[in-house]
Amino acid sequence: MLMRVTFLGTGTSQGVPMIACDCAVCASPDPRNKRLRPSIYVETASGTCFVVDTTPDFRTQCLVNNLRRVDAVVITHAHADHIFGLDDLRRFNQIQRGVIPIYASADSMESLRRIFGYAFAAEDSLRQGWAAVEPHILDGSPFQIGSATLQPFAVPHGKTTTLGFLVADKDGSRFAYITDVKEVPPPVETLVRGVPLLILGALRHTPHPAHMTVAEAVQTVKHVQPMCAYFVHMTHELDYKETNQRLPLNTRLAHDGLRLELSATGVQEV
């Protein structure tokens, strides 16, 4: 089995369409202009599945993509658009009859405990039928989910930081996921340079203090030199077709439901 990445959501915090907006992208009939909050689902070569972030759209994303398992949860940071669907993990606790490991920075875990305290009582949470997670604090060391090794790294995101991840499976396939990022610092650039697949946050054209613009993200792709790059976390400023036409050949906007298969030699849309 090859490692697979499914884009559960490619939108910014408000999603696209945005509530009460009549702009051309929000009104567009193109399904690739409909963006739920940002998250990916990863199936490793060993069949273990994990989700990166549990967005406010997590339930919808599970239904639309027919997700049947979540063996682990990885959290980039504790902003609302990345964590507020955590409660819907309870269904997977029920199906899998177990507590689900969750990996986050110490700061993010503290926020998760404050908001979803009831999910941290392990077997008791499970018995009550609540969401039940087993916390694993990320201190910068690599960790294992199934056959995949994840190397976390911190990147600046306005007043806070986000964890990005370099994911490597046992067959040599690799990708990097960096959402909610203002810039990729040189040591991270060195770490991910030449990775076959780079998934990168690119908010819009207008500058933002905590996110990269499309132009900044294109510059970052040039430095990192991946085989291919997909942008995520987009606002309604970016029309899928029109924006893609102006991007370099190896770079595209991702869209909800897009699925990629990775091998040691490349990346393929499936």
21 binds Zn ion (CB under 5 A): yes
Closest CA to 146 of 68, 56, 66, 71: 71
In the bound complex, what is the minimum distance in angstroms from residue 177's beta carbon to Zn ion? Answer: 13
Q: 67-92 burial by CB neighbour count: b if 16+ within 10 A, else e?
A: beebbbbbbbbbbebbbbbbbbbbeb
23 binds Zn ion (CB under 5 A): yes
Q: 154-177 burial by CB neighbour count: b if 16+ within 10 A, else e?
A: bbebeeebbbbbbbbbeeebbbbb
CA–CA dist 26, 17 (Å, integer):
4
Contacts of residue 246, defined as CB under 8 A and 6 or more positions apart, other chains included, come to none
Closest CA to 178 of 127, 117, 220: 220
81 binds Zn ion (CB under 5 A): yes
Which listed residue (2, 26, 115, 227) binds Zn ion by CB under 5 A? 26
Which listed residue (180, 216, 239, 256) binds Zn ion by CB under 5 A? 180
For the record, the structure tokens of 66 come out as 């027919």
Stretch that binds Zn ion, among 81-89, 147-155, 190-198, 217-225 (CB under 5 A): 81-89
Question: Which CB atom, from 35 or from 79, has the smaller least distance to Zn ion?
Answer: 79
- Determine phi and psi for 222, rounding to 5 degrees: -60, -40
24 binds Zn ion (CB under 5 A): no
35 binds Zn ion (CB under 5 A): no
53 binds Zn ion (CB under 5 A): no
Stretch that binds Zn ion, among 5-13, 41-49, 96-104, 147-155 (CB under 5 A): 5-13
Question: Which CB atom, from 45 or from 78, has the smaller least distance to Zn ion?
Answer: 78
154 binds Zn ion (CB under 5 A): no
x/- letters, 106..145, toward Zn ion (CB under 5 A): ----------------------------------------
In the bound complex, what is the minimum distance in angstroms from residue 157's beta carbon to Zn ion? Answer: 6
Distance of CA 78 to the CA centre of its chain: 13
Closest CA to 225 of 195, 248, 185: 195
Q: From residue 30, how far is each of 16, 53, 120 by CA, in Å?
A: 12, 26, 41
Stretch that binds Zn ion, among 14-22, 136-144, 182-190, 262-270 (CB under 5 A): 14-22
Question: Which CB atom, from 78 or from 197, has the smaller least distance to Zn ion?
Answer: 78
x/- letters, 222..251, toward Zn ion (CB under 5 A): --------------x---------------
Residues that bind Zn ion (CB under 5 A): 13, 18, 21, 23, 26, 79, 81, 180, 236
